[in-house]
Amino acid sequence: MEVDIDHLMSMTGGDADLADEVLDIFRNQAEMWGRLLDPDLNQTQWADAAHALKGAALSIGAKEFAEECAVVEQKGRGDDAVSRVESATLLSSLKDGLGQAIEACAKASYQLSKPGLRRSKDSNS
């Protein structure tokens, strides 16, 4: 699982500080929406959480995780009820992917901290 740094930098106009802020926003959303990836909840609720996480993942270039979210969202929005066992399996896998996406954010933040990517505060005046 990776964050596409080029995509992230493109989305933030090449501003590494803003890109890092977007990664923080993703991590906050991951914490909030991740709580709803619970097989004991109504499948509409976890499908909504998967949808929100998909959008957040696409914003940082975590395409692989976004694809996993799309599968779970589609399953949750389907006409057929999802069994407790099936939803537990789906959501456990998605939670694993979420953990990997959060780790990828940490790696991306580290990459963004390398010299040359961040503007000097003095150069902005």
Walk along the chain (125 residues) in steps of 10 and give the mean pLDDT of each run: 93 93 95 95 95 96 96 94 93 97 95 71 43
Asked whether the beta carbons of 103 and 1 are under 8 A apart, the reply is yes
CA distances from 109 to 8, 57, 104, 121 (A): 11, 15, 9, 18
Per-domain boundaries in the chain? 5-112
Backbone φ, ψ for residue 108 (5° rounding): -65, -40
What pTM value is reported for the model?
Answer: 0.87
Q: What is the identity of the amino acid at 113? A: S
Interatomic CA distance for residues 68 and 91, integer angstroms: 10
The fold adopted by the segment(s) 5-112 is Four Helix Bundle (Hemerythrin (Met), subunit A) (1.20.120)
